Every structure is written in structure tokens, then in C-alpha cells.
């Protein structure tokens, strides 16, 4: 019983994480495009700028 509940909760959490990640990524891409027209990925700008 506990194993099934744990698996169900993990599934819900994974799905919520994916939705949240996608929403954040869309906002970061929009921000990056506004800051650096012509770029497609905010990740590329972060690496190029030397922040990571």
C-alpha cells in the first residue's frame, strides 16, 4: 500500500516539475530574446556570458 502511494506521489511530483520547468523556460527564452535579439536559448547566453 505504501509503495503504491509513494509511486503515485512521485508521478504527480514529476509531472508538476515538468510543467513548472517548461513555464520557467518559456519565460527565460522570452527574456533572453528581449535582451539579445536573434538568440534562441537563454542557456546559451548564460554560458557565453560566463555566469556558470
pLDDT tens for each residue of 22-45: 888 888 888 878 887 877 665 655
How distant, in Å, are the alpha carbons of 6, 10, 13, 24 from that of 33?
A: 40, 34, 30, 14
Q: pLDDT value at position 17?
A: 92
Q: pLDDT value at position 41?
A: 65
Q: What is the mean pLDDT of the chain?
A: 79
Confidence bin at 52 (pLDDT 50/70/90) = very low
Amino acid at each position: 500500500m505504501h509503495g503504491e502511494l509513494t509511486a503515485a506521489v512521485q508521478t504527480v511530483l514529476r509531472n508538476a516539475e515538468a510543467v513548472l520547468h517548461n513555464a520557467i523556460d518559456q519565460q527565460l527564452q522570452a527574456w533572453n530574446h528581449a535582451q539579445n535579439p536573434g538568440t534562441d536559448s537563454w542557456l546559451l547566453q548564460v554560458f557565453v556570458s560566463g555566469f556558470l
